[in-house]
A and B are shown apart, each in its own frame.
Chain A
């Protein structure tokens, strides 16, 4: 078995994930390489979810009975855990949403309805990048269409990095918000935060970072990032689906208007008007995803116990090995950085003229789960002149043996369609 420096004890870790023992298609061992889409859930999180429903389930914040108090304590406890996980200065800066898309849409809508100085209108500009997930493109297109604000973006270099050469023309005095991805879900690129944040701060623009592909894989420190907002989702970091996070700086959350109205987000309501609860509740209208938040708290505990720096080192080693092995496959072209430097653990590639759906289907028959398509980042496919890619993405339980299985599988695909 291949030994690489920095690897975690995957034999022990994999015991926490019952699904990884599954056999599919007549007894083939599951090789799960679709972690950028969703991660698997460890027993520790499943147990907490079960216990929540078996022992504590109630609606939060309003009841005076035991279950309501327990559920509230667990829900708010999850907020504390997430705040510590991202080094937030205050727990009140952590807003629970249903996913990263909702977090990003929430910021777009806050800014669309905001007063000066945050208001996005026809005299202002919004900046994104060409490597964004559709969830960080479409909300800004909508905001641009509704307000008349101009939407601008950074292009990409041939090797899958952001082209920041014209940063001063892209981010200008008119820019109100710069929203970009920390780690690309399709290219794997880790973007240079500091250069972008510095320029945004020069012109007084707010910065929103989509950390969906970063939070699960590396230490995330919102204070070190110096952004104004950070969005991510729970199900890619060993948590359940249906729970996302928006972190925002406290003074902004105080100043910016709510988006969804309803229960829980109010202070008082009369038929004529209402006043709002302080953040984070101002942005959490209605019954929140309680068990999902509790599950995310358990996921944070699980990841923290292993250590985010150790997980990052493991994935770096796996990615370095995967890049090396994949480049040995004839006709394989990596779309994105071809080294493991400043790169996350998602690798997209094309294989000669074989369509990614055919690659994915034949790999599936071998028990190997990858993602195929445009990965909700169609502009990236257009940029590189390809209809789609095959993407393999790794996590803390991924092993060198699984990379070898993928490479063998790709050889099989080549022979099959050759």
Chain B
């Protein structure tokens, strides 16, 4: 489960720290107590920045770092595709062996395939991704107005 890639992102997170954004959300994972505050900045439909601060287990923190790597600079539609593929992988209960096509989309995030075998930890891996989805909806005006939500 603890791939070297995950430990690297955990020990040396990419893009950590809160910067200017169009919307901010705070998500918590009540089973672990993982927390993340995440901001998104859009330049038209391009993701200019995803900044975050959080505390929690290595899986949740590494996942936020990987998200930052993967999504910043992408067009919204492409980012949504990546998010969907990551979600599919995390919901696979360890039965999905990432193929080349998936690896091309997810890059470092394929390292989380092993986490999907541990139901208690899937929420940790998805925390920042759900926060990003929520923040994006708010930034682009599809908000239902709820500033804080639980992922679980």
Contacts and interface: CB of A to CB of B under 8 A. Distances in A.
B32 interface: yes
A357 B2 contact: no
A358 B33 contact: no
Contacts of A416: 2, 7
Nearest to B55: A387
Given A355-B57, A358-B58, A417-B7, A381 B33 contact: yes
Interface class of chain A by DSSP: helix
Contacts of A133: none
Interface class of chain B by DSSP: mixed
Task: Name the residue in A354, A357, A361 with the highest tally of chain B Cβ atoms < 10 Å from its Cβ.
Answer: A357
Contacts of B7: 416-417
A168 B150 CA distance: 40
A357 B32 contact: yes
B32 A373 contact: yes
Contacts of A388: 32-33
Interface in B32-70: 32-35, 55-59
A232 B54 CA distance: 38
B121 interface: yes
A355 B1 contact: no
Interface in A354-383: 354-358, 361-362, 373-374, 381
B128 to A, nearest CB: 15
Contacts of B58: 354-355, 358, 417
Contacts of A361: 1-2, 118, 121
A349 B2 CA distance: 22
B11 to A, nearest CB: 8
Interface in A330-358: 354-358
Interface in B1-53: 1-2, 7, 10-11, 31-35
B33 A374 contact: yes
Given A373-B31, A373-B33, A417-B7, A357 B55 contact: no
A115 B1 CA distance: 58
B24 to A, nearest CB: 21
B124 interface: yes
B83 to A, nearest CB: 23
A57 B120 CA distance: 37
Contact of B121 (A357, A362, A381, A387): A357
B56 A355 contact: yes
Interface string B55-94: 1111100000000000000000000000000000000000
Nearest to B56: A355
Interface string A401-417: 00000000000000011
B2 A387 contact: no
A387 B33 contact: yes
B65 to A, nearest CB: 15
Contacts of B31: 373
Contacts of B55: 387
A383 to B, nearest CB: 14
Interface string A81-98: 000000000000000000
Contacts of B33: 373-374, 381, 387-388
A355 B63 CA distance: 15
A117 to B, nearest CB: 40
Nearest to A388: B33
Contact of A387 (B1, B10, B56, B118): B56
Contacts of A374: 33
Interface string A221-264: 00000000000000000000000000000000000000000000
A382 to B, nearest CB: 10
A201 to B, nearest CB: 39
Contacts of A355: 32, 34, 56-58
A47 B95 CA distance: 38
Contacts of B121: 357, 361
A361 B2 CA distance: 9
Nearest to B1: A361
21 contacts: A354-B58, A355-B32, A355-B56, A355-B57, A356-B57, A357-B59, A357-B120, A357-B124, A358-B2, A358-B57, A358-B58, A358-B59, A361-B2, A361-B121, A373-B33, A381-B33, A387-B55, A387-B56, A416-B2, A417-B7, A417-B58
Interface of B: 1-2, 7, 10-11, 31-35, 55-59, 118, 120-121, 124
Interface of A: 354-358, 361-362, 373-374, 381, 387-388, 416-417
Which 4 pairs of residues, A with B, have the shortest CB-CB distance? A355-B57, A357-B57, A387-B33, A388-B33
Given A358-B57, A381-B33, A417-B7, 17 more contacts: A355-B32, A355-B56, A355-B57, A357-B57, A358-B2, A358-B59, A361-B1, A361-B2, A361-B121, A373-B33, A387-B35, A387-B56, A388-B32, A416-B2, A416-B7, A417-B10, A417-B58
